[in-house]
Amino acid sequence: MEITLKINGSEKKLSVEPRTLLVHAIRDAGLTGTHIGCDSSSCGVCTVVLDGKTAVKSCTMFAVQAEGHEITTIEGMAQGDKLHPLQQAFHDQHGLQCGYCTPGMIMAAHVLLQHNPNPTEEEIRFGLSGNLCRCTGYQNIVKAVQQAAQMLQQPAGAAADD
Amino acid sequence: MAVQTPNLEPKGIQGLGKAIKRKEDARFIVGKGNYLDDINLPGMLYMALVHSPYAHAKILNIDTSEALKIPGVKAVITAKDLAAAGLSWIPTLAGDKQMVLADGKVLYQHQEVAAVYAETRQAAADGAAAVQVEYEPLPVVVDPYKATAPDAPVLREDIKDQMSGAHGPRRHPNHIWTWEVGSKDETEKALAQSEVRIKQHMVYPRSHPAPLEPCGCIGDMNKATGRLTVYMTTQAPHAIRTVLSLVTKIPENNIRVISPDIGGGFGNKVPVYPGYVCAIVGSIVLGAPVKWVETRTENLTTTGFARDFHMDIEIGATKDGKVTAMKVYTLADHGAFDAAADPSKYPAGLFSICTGSYDFQKAYAQVEAVYTNKAPGGVAYRCSFRVTEASYLIERSMDVLAHELKMDPAELRLKNFIQPHQFPYPSALGWTYDSGDYEKTLKVALERIGYHELRKEQAEKRARGELMGIGISTFTEIVGAGPSKDFDILGIKMFDGAEIRVHPTGSAIVRAGTRHQGQGHETTWAQIVSEELGLDVDKIIVEEGDTDTAPYGLGTYASRSTPTAGGAMALAARRIREKAKKIAAHLLEVSENDVEWVDKKFQVKGVPGKSVTMNEVAFAAYTNPPPGLEPGLETTYYYDPPNLTFPHGAYVCVVDIDKGTGEVKVRRFVAIDDCGTIINPMIVEGQVHGGLTEGFAMAFMQEIAFDEQGNHLASNFTDYLLPTALETPKWETGHTVTPSPHHPIGAKGVGESPTVGSPAAFVNAVVDALAHLGVRHIDMPITREKVWRVLRSAGIDAF
Amino acid sequence: MIPAAFEYKRPMSLEEALSHLAQYGADARVLAGGQSLIPAMRYRLAQPAVLVDINKLPNLGYMKEENGMLCLGALVRDTDVEFSPEIRSRYHLISDVSMVVADPIVRFRATVVGSLCHNDPSGDWAAAAIAARAQMAIQGPGGARVEPIDRFLVDSFATSIGEGEMAVEVRFPVPNALTSGAYEKIERKVGDYATAAAAVQVELNPDGTIKEAGIGITAVAHMALRVEEAEKILRGQKPTLELIRAAAEEARKIANPNPDARGSAEYKKDMARVLVGRGLIKALKRLNVVVA
């Protein structure tokens, strides 16, 4: 089937089988920042943003279902050379080690902060509990999301990436 | 035209002890990491595997005809096809051999039976689903204690008559080896004479490292050049190249192993797996690159499990709590093939560190390994070869002893610690501990958590019927394998190499035979070199994982990178500095003897104003070398460590227990680690957070279990439980620093300490909470139900 | 893991969806959130020949109060419920459930109606729907019908939806000021199926006695169950700890769980009891009734 969707702001026409998982379609389109870590919708490393405000595990959606929708992946977070505050904060707080969960974790956090711009530590842990990390023990990921929340709330400066 | 002299003033020397941010993050945070599945080659085929539904069965027939009819399927191979290439069996790291594809029978559920190659991943999956295999189920061996019963089914018919294996005599077709250390007679005598004795049985259950990136491989045989390039999720690319050469008979110079970015390893990515071999064989046969990436089920059911040690311990002590002797018997369940990843001489790894941080005068340990109908493995899962099992055993047992003596577990430990003046300390089981200050580390931890107040609180709560517990673990690790006199894998000595090339403009590339998977080598190796050479840390690039370019080394696992390659890196830098000194003398127009290295510069002895930077020296090495001196500024150093290193730590855990459901809530966890010299405190803390989380997971969730038919009960992440951010406790970390006296920078390694040391702290805390109900031990994972059983049988109930 | 091939239909209207369902009958499966179906297809445990994707149907994402009922269309996602301030302030049981289904990311796709139609023995929404006495609105070749939840939920993975039919809405009675509820679930970790869970809803009389109680338990039998005896025990009584104990005990009695890695039958039965008890205490506390 032919599908048309937007990925990171640019329109893509993809040819897929109905059974092609969205994550495979995204990766086959050259955007390999979105990873695959399980078959049971458990790990969340494939998390992408659907239509701006919704996080989905892209292994649990068929590519054909993305017809007419807008997908944002980790590759769409930075504005040119300027990192998104979440990317900057993950780096600053040592919120990643092997990096495999990082794109999904950042996308999940991105959606979390849209629904709750100033989350408590407990709310961050709750909100990211659909995403597994084997390296960091989550503590620095939580700190990174807290830093990003602050950066995003600063009136000028860091929030000027919009 | 001559090269213009650049600005040679270093601006960012960031050496040891600096919490600089990681260099490798840049690509990962923008989604530009390059993991195995991100690599796509022109004309690449996909491979999928067919797996056995039975744990033990004869294969009567394999029908591939339907699979071959599926559009896009190029080929299907079975053991018969591999036999033609001499590859139906491969040697394991433990001196055994294992089937690549099931050869006549299957020995564990999910064992690989056939490989399907196709043009798309869909066709490969459809092909695998269409292969028809006829099985005749056989009786299974699941319980290791029943493996060597006289009437037990014979698992390994290929070696059933061989009454001797790689590690000595075998007493039963399902017995692999028996290994012992220490003096049995003297230990038994000392135990018999001890005033107090405890005995405890405990199981360290089968676990799996489960990195989030599964294993995978791309075989790429270039028939025109005869060169085989193998992209592989491997923690040990050089060893893999050598093994591949030996197995395939392809000359080693014609094999290039590239280990791209690795999405976590934890020991899972050390061995050679059947899938790798099939992808490589497929490429050789089909003349196209072949990619295989595990499903999560394949990962959890067929590749490198860990632990599965069934342990019995006996400890003797005086009435006032001084330990006298320890005797250990362990039954090790190795699955269907002995593929444990241990140094050759040590089939039970470094389990003999089981005397821990305590001054045992007599000790004896025996380990027996048996075959069962389970996947092979025995990898060092965030562990330096069975150290995790050993540490758990001793730390759990010290609490059992404290309980028996009615003594505070902290006090018992303080009474028995090896004292600082005893180092280098020869342990009863043959190790020479390098350094440590156990008392200091424990006292820091107790102070930090407020131990005495907590004990008071516990007493008050207990009086009110509330349940809280405090658990301590004061472990000693043994890492950094290892000195070549004792340590090799398949005969290859376990030294490690580092190469440094300093460029004319004061930047450098450094390479090592290790392969990081999140440990931060791209930053920490640069820091060592920055420290030793006075170069800007930002101008040092670190490269690992390509056997064509990196110096030989045995890889990254068992907390060995810093003790081995880290040492190599420092010594390579010092070798460069020796040469640089000659160039500096030339530039300063003094004799070499009049030059000293001060404040990361060469200066004329006693004349601080007269100095040159390493950058200036580097430039001169290429533009103005002293007459008679070999130009250039680069070197390779192979470091053969003189001893292992012995990191230690003191962990204290506080738990509260829900009387209604049996849920254990970790309220606090303080981890004070001593890993010697710290290269980057931020990275060390990150390693500790991660390791504690895996220790927590083992204590409460992770288990690879089987039913009586040998069915695997944890074949995906809905059944094999990894903690999320919500369950994971908040960690409180800290350090003491007791440098290793023999390591070039005094570092000991830290990646595994928290996984090794923490499980006992969790279990000790839970048992402590229930001790007054008569509980002495609970095996991991501590589920709510196990606690609930204790509560209800004690008549405790609550909403 | 790759699902087996299937034919994909993307109807743009309810009529079109129903006509696909009529045409393909048992070969077709409705794809709403897909958070249970797609993983099952990846493992090839489910291999439907035709998927009818209803995600593009118009006007099924509504949440509205109508005729004393809160109506959730078939495309209301768990997060729509979870993030709704109105739900949080007034529908305590439903709000509780919406926060513990699967995991936070799955909840962005998963639908309430889809979960009820799936009727997994461990489903969270089924227990809640039982406790709240929900109704299902169904459309089919024979037109529309509304069914009480007890008749809708038939058996493990089975509902009263017939061939060619589709559930379009779930309706929860609007709670009055004297009604509250709670959902108590234990799971081994986020994302795991419940080891046991209990949904309770309590309506008080102005005199403080219990007017009506609804109790559903899940993960402890072949499907979610109503604990009728407990409801009877509570009805008309003044809430006390003894009363709650007696009611909770009924949950233990009727629970008939399969032992698995989550626990033995004995444990799960006891948890059904504990969780019903806790749920009642929490619901009453939300009504400012503290049962010590």
A92 Cα to chain B: minimum distance (Å)? 7
Q: Are C215 and C183 in contact (CB under 8 A)?
A: no
Report whether B768 contacts B469 (CB < 8 A).
yes
* Cα–Cα distance, A56 to A50 (Å, whole number): 7
Q: What is the CATH number of domain B496-639?
A: 3.30.365.10
B neighbours by CB contacts (3+ pairs under 8 Å): A, C
- What structural domains does chain C harbor? 7-56 (3.30.43.10), 63-173 (3.30.465.10), 179-286 (3.30.390.50)
Contact status, residue B368 vs residue B331, Cβ threshold 8 Å: yes
Q: Angle formed by the axes of helices B753-770 and B681-700, to 10°? A: 40
B122 touching chain A per CB within 8 A: yes
Closest CA of chain A from C278, distance in Å: 22
Q: Search chain A and give the residue with CA nearest C50.
A: A18
The C-alpha angle with vertex B739 and arms to B735 and B740, in degrees rounded to 5, equals 130
Q: How many CB pairs under 8 A join A and C?
A: 92
**pLDDT value of position A162:** 41
Q: Which helix (H) or strand (E) holds B83?
A: helix B79-84
In chain B, which stretches have pLDDT less than 50? Answer: none
pLDDT digits (tens, 9 = 90+) for B587-610: 999 999 999 999 999 999 999 999
Q: Out of B125, B721, B788, whose CB is closest to C192?
A: B721
Partner-chain contact B125 C1, CB within 8 Å: yes
CA distance B571 to B555: 18
Q: What angle do CA A65, A67, A68 make, to 5 degrees?
A: 135
Give the contacts of C70 (CB within 8 A, at least 6 positions apart).
C63, C64, C91, C94, C171, C172, C173, C174
Strands of the sheet with A10-15, listed across from one edge: A10-15, A2-7, A70-72, A47-50, A54-57
To test the contact with chain B by mutation, choose from A91, A100, A112, A145 the residue with the greatest count of B C-beta atoms within 10 A, namely A100
Q: Test A108 with C8 for CB contact under 8 angstroms.
A: no
pLDDT value for B1: 57
CATH number of A85-153: 1.10.150.120
CB contact B266 to A (< 8 Å): yes
Nearest C-alpha in A relative to B726: A125
The alpha carbon of residue C102 is apart from the nearest alpha carbon of chain B, in Å, by 11
* Coil, helix or strand at residue B652: strand
C37 with C44: CB under 8 angstroms? no
**Dihedral over Cα of B330, B483, B263, B100: its sign:** negative
CB atoms closer than 10 angstroms to residue A11: 9
Phi and psi torsions of B742, nearest 5°: -105, -15
- Peptide bond before residue C279 is cis, with ω within 30 degrees of 0: no
B787 closest CA partner among B653, B659, B696: B659
Q: Indicate yes or no: CB of B660 within 8 angstroms of CB of C274.
A: yes
| B630 CB-near residues (< 8 Å, 6+ apart) | none
- The mean of the pLDDT values for chain B is 97
pLDDT for residue B15: 92
Contact C191 A42 (CB under 8 A): yes
Q: What is the mean pLDDT of residues A52-66?
A: 98
C204: phi then psi, degrees, rounded to nearest 5? -95, 150
Contact B126 C281 (CB under 8 A): no
Encoded amino acid at A14, one letter: L
Does the distance separating the beta carbons of B724 and C189 come in below 8 Å?
yes
- CA dist B172 and B169 (Å) reads 9
Q: Which of C3, C105, C190 sits opposite A108 (nearest CB)?
A: C105
Tell which residue, B351, B353, B401, has the closest CA to residue B199: B401
Q: What is the pLDDT of residue B10?
A: 83
Q: Give phi and psi for A146, each to the nearest 5.
A: -60, -45
Residue B47 has phi, psi (to 5 degrees) of -120, 140
CA distance C85 to chain A (A): 12
Q: Can you identify the CATH homologous superfamily of domain B42-138+214-262+269-302?
A: Aldehyde oxidase/xanthine dehydrogenase, a/b hammerhead (3.90.1170.50)
Under 8 Å between Cβ of B145 and B175: no
Chains near C (3 or more Cβ pairs under 8 Å)? A, B
* Beta-ladder partners of B75: B117
Residue B262 has its nearest CB partner, among A74, A98, A139, at A98
CB-count exposure of residue B541 (10 Å: 0-12, 13-18, 19+): middle
Averaged pLDDT for residues C192-206: 98
DSSP for B662-674, please give it.
--EEEEEEEEEEE
Beta carbons of A137 and B731 less than 8 angstroms apart: yes
User: For residues B646 and A153, what is the distance between their CA atoms, to the nearest angstrom?
Assistant: 46
**Cα–Cα distance between A57 and B326 in angstroms, integer?**
51
- What is the distance in angstroms between the CA of the first residue and the CA of the last residue of chain C? 52
Local confidence band at A159 (pLDDT 50, 70, 90 cut-offs): very low
What 8-state DSSP symbol labels residue B158? G
Nearest Cα to Cα of residue B352 among B197, B696, B409, B342: B342
- Nearest CB neighbour to B212, from listed A19, A45, A77: A45
Residue B522: how many CA atoms within 13 Å on its side-chain side?
20
Going by their DSSP bridges, the two strands B309-317 and B112-118 should be labelled as unpaired
- Cβ-proximal residues to B278 (8 Å cutoff; 6+ apart), any chain: B47, B49, B77, B82, B100, B101, B112, B115, B292
Min Cα distance B700 → chain C (Å) is 9
Residue B269 φ/ψ, nearest 5 degrees: -105, 35
Q: Residue B410 is which amino acid?
A: A
| Residue B195 at interface with chain C, using a CB cutoff of 8 Å | no
Phi, psi values for residue B471, rounded to 5°: -125, 140
The answer to whether residues B194 and B324 touch, using CB atoms and an 8 Å cutoff, is yes
SS3 state at B190: helix
B684 near A CB under 8 A? no
Q: Cβ contacts of residue B568 below 8 Å, gap of 6+?
A: B495, B496, B497, B498, B512, B553, B637, B638, B639
Chain A touched by B24 (CB under 8 Å)? yes
Domain boundaries, chain B: 42-138+214-262+269-302, 385-480+644-793, 496-639
CA A115 to chain centre: 14
Q: What CA–CA distance (Å, rounded) separates B726 from A133? A: 12
pLDDT of residue B85: 87
**pLDDT of A59 strictly over 50:** yes
Q: Which chains touch A (3 or more CB pairs under 8 A)?
A: B, C
SS3 annotation, chain C: CCCCCCEEECCCCHHHHHHHHHHHHHHEEEECCCCCHHHHHHCCCCCCCEEEEHHHCCCCCCEEEECCEEEEECCCEHHHHHCCHHHHHHCHHHHHHHCCCCCCCHHHHCEHHHHHHHCCCCCHHHHHHHHHCCEEEEEECCEEEEEEHHHHEEECCEECCCCCCEEEEEEEECCCCCEEEEEEEEECCCCCCEEEEEEEEEEECCCCCEEEEEEEEECCCCCCEECHHHHHHHCCCCCCHHHHHHHHHHHHHHCCCCCECCECHHHHHHHHHHHHHHHHHHHHHHCCCCCC
CA distance B301 to chain C (A): 15
For residue B424, cis peptide bond before it (omega within 30 degrees of 0): yes
* CA separation for the pair C136, C69 (Å, rounded): 11
DSSP-derived letter for residue B720 is S
Cα dihedral across residues C273, C276, C280, C285: positive or negative:
positive
Q: Which of B448, B138, B661, B460 is nearest to C197 (CA)?
A: B661
Q: Identify the residue among C1, C103, C275, C276 best suited for mutation to test binding to B, counting B beta carbons within 10 A and taking the highest.
A: C1
Sequence-distant (6+) residues with CB within 8 A of A92 are A144, A147, B21
Q: Across the interface, do C109 and A56 touch by the CB < 8 Å criterion?
A: yes
Give the gap in angstroms from C-alpha C42 to the nearest C-alpha of chain A: 7
**Cα separation of B380 and B386, whole Å?**
7
The answer to whether B785 contacts C267, with C-beta atoms less than 8 Å apart, is yes
Domain ranges of chain A: 2-74, 85-153
Collapsed DSSP state (helix, strand, coil) of residue B422: helix
CATH for the stretch A2-74: 3.10.20.30
Find the helix or strand (DSSP H, E) in which B197 lies.
strand B196-204
Kindly state whether B407 is in contact with chain C, defined as any CB-CB distance less than 8 angstroms.
no
Q: Least CB-CB distance to C2: which of B121, B713, B727?
A: B121
Residue A155: the pLDDT is 66
Asked whether the ipTM of the predicted complex exceeds the cut of 0.85, the reply is yes
**Facing residue for C109 by CB, picked from A21, A44, A61:** A61
Question: Quick one: CATH architecture of B385-480+644-793?
Answer: 2-Layer Sandwich (3.30)
Give the DSSP H/E element, type plus range, for residue B751: none
Catalytic positions of B: 235, 382-383, 752
Which residues of chain C approach chain B closer than 8 Å at the C-beta? Answer: 1-2, 4-5, 44, 103, 186, 188-193, 195, 244, 248, 261, 263-264, 267, 270-271, 274, 277-278, 281
Q: Which residue of A has its CA nearest to C8?
A: A18
Residue A156's pLDDT is what? 54
Size of chain B in residues = 799
Query: Does C108 sit within 8 Å of A62, measured CB to CB?
Result: no
Chain C positions touching A108 (Cβ under 8 A) are 104-105
User: Chain A: nearest CA to B120, how far in angstroms?
Assistant: 11
- Considering only CB atoms, which chain C residues are within 8 Å of A41? 35, 38-39, 102, 106
Q: Which of B126, B661, B715, B727 to mutate to test the interface with C (most CBs of C within 10 A)?
A: B661
Distance CA C276, CA C226 (A): 11
Those of residues 690-729 in B touching chain C at CB distance below 8 A are: 701, 705, 713-714, 718-719, 721-724, 726-727
Answer yes or no: same fold for A2-74 and A85-153.
no
How large is the average pLDDT for residues C264-288?
A: 98
Mutate to test the interface with A, among C8, C105, C185, C193 (most CBs of A within 10 A): C105
